[in-house]
Amino acid sequence: MPDDVSSRGFAARSTTEGRSPVDSTPETPAVERAPVDSTPEETPVVERAPVDSTPETPVVERAQRDETPGETPVVERAQRDETPEETPVVERAQRDETPDVSGRLVLIAGATSASGLAAARALTSAGARVIAVGRDAERLEALAAALRQAQGPGGQGPGGHGPQGPGGPEVSTEVCDLTDEAAVSALAERVHAEHGPVDGVLHLVGGWRGGGGLAGQSDADFRFLERTLTALRHVSRAFDEDLRASTAGRLAVVSSTAVARPLAGGAGYAAVKAATEAWTRAVAQGFAKAARDAGEPLRAASVVFRVTSLAGLEERLAEAFTGLWGQPAADVNDTVIDLTRS
């Protein structure tokens, strides 16, 4: 290839050098001819491009020119359309949620445990109204007495259900078998009639049975453990509309770290807790879908708290649950919070 190029260059030089001075006059060299021939009738390609490009504006220039006020670019439209009448969803969510639980009506399912007492105490101290639900009337009365003692002198709540400081929060108690669907429906009717819709549900119905490896996972033990899931199903359905309609609805359950690492001796327990988490996350999806379909910001949240054992974590659980009202629903909905981590 280099040899061909050299030969062509040599031939071109020979032709030019061989012409006479007379012959070179009518045949102007190519380099000199370009300015003469580049008249408006036949503009050279390089020079003609700016002239011909007028009816066909380059894409970049067209995009800038076509983005007239009548067709504002998407980014600019989004910024301009976010007027005070249509505040961005995230900002609306933060604005709509009050920073605390004061004045909220919260139902504690399975309230007669140490965790129930801690939660009721934290909620009422923050100004919430609490409905403590359990199967044992005597244990519910003991809970109410403990709260009265913790709160100091105070009056009775409406109907004599529980303690209430002068003009302050109240605790009402309700006896109910939460595994009985009809009983839970009746409970919801009483709560609505006496107190109105609820803003929060803390599900503490639980228990443990197991051991003996996989062979030790009996049907009787599983039926016992399954009651906790049944209670959650009943309660969450009975108050789902309340939570979705609330300006800051919250539902939380207590699960186990065994879901992440189940053992043969606790297979039944881990299976029920896994189902509990799945149900709770389904509630979260329902909250999100309802808000999206209505074109409104998300205001309700469904949360899973995980523990290895609640013993010693009662206060932390109470604080974490009460603190859910201080966070936008979008930040906590469909989350799993491990309380064993400091």
- Given this model, what pLDDT does residue 215 score? 95
- The model's pTM: 0.69
The DSSP result for 121-180, as a single string, is HHHHHTT-EEEEEES-HHHHHHHHHHHHHHH-S-EEPGGG-SEE-TTS-BEEEEE--TT-
- Residue 183 CA, chain-centre distance (Å), reads 32
Here the tokens at position 118 are: 């801690």
The answer to whether 306 and 341 have CB atoms below 8 angstroms apart is no
Which CATH number fits the domain 101-338, given the four candidates 3.40.50.720, 3.90.1150.10, 3.40.710.10, 2.30.30.140?
3.40.50.720
- Torsional class of 280: left (φ above 0), alpha (ψ -120 to 50), beta (otherwise): alpha
- Given this model, what pLDDT does residue 100 score? 82
The answer to whether 281 and 334 have CB atoms below 8 angstroms apart is yes
Nearest to 286 by CA among 301, 274, 296: 301
Query: Which amino acid appears at position 229 of this protein?
Result: L
Per residue of the chain (342 residues), what is the pLDDT tens digit? 444 433 333 333 333 333 333 344 444 443 344 343 444 444 343 344 343 444 444 443 443 444 444 444 443 433 434 433 444 433 333 444 444 899 999 999 999 999 999 999 999 999 999 999 999 999 999 999 999 887 765 444 433 344 444 444 489 999 999 999 999 999 999 999 999 999 999 999 999 999 999 999 999 999 999 999 999 999 999 999 999 999 999 999 999 999 999 999 999 999 999 999 999 999 999 999 999 999 999 999 999 999 999 999 999 999 999 999 999 999 999 999 999 986
- Given this model, what pLDDT does residue 150 score? 77
CA distances from 112 to 80, 132, 144, 251 (A): 54, 8, 10, 18
Position of tokens 């209505």?
294
- Given this model, what pLDDT does residue 152 score? 64
Query: Which amino acid appears at position 302 of this protein?
Result: S
- Given this model, what pLDDT does residue 341 score? 86
- Given this model, what pLDDT does residue 33 score? 40
| Cα(86)–Cα(241) distance, integer angstroms | 26
Domain ranges within the chain, ordered by starting residue: 101-338
Greatest Cα pair distance, the chain, in angstroms, is: 129
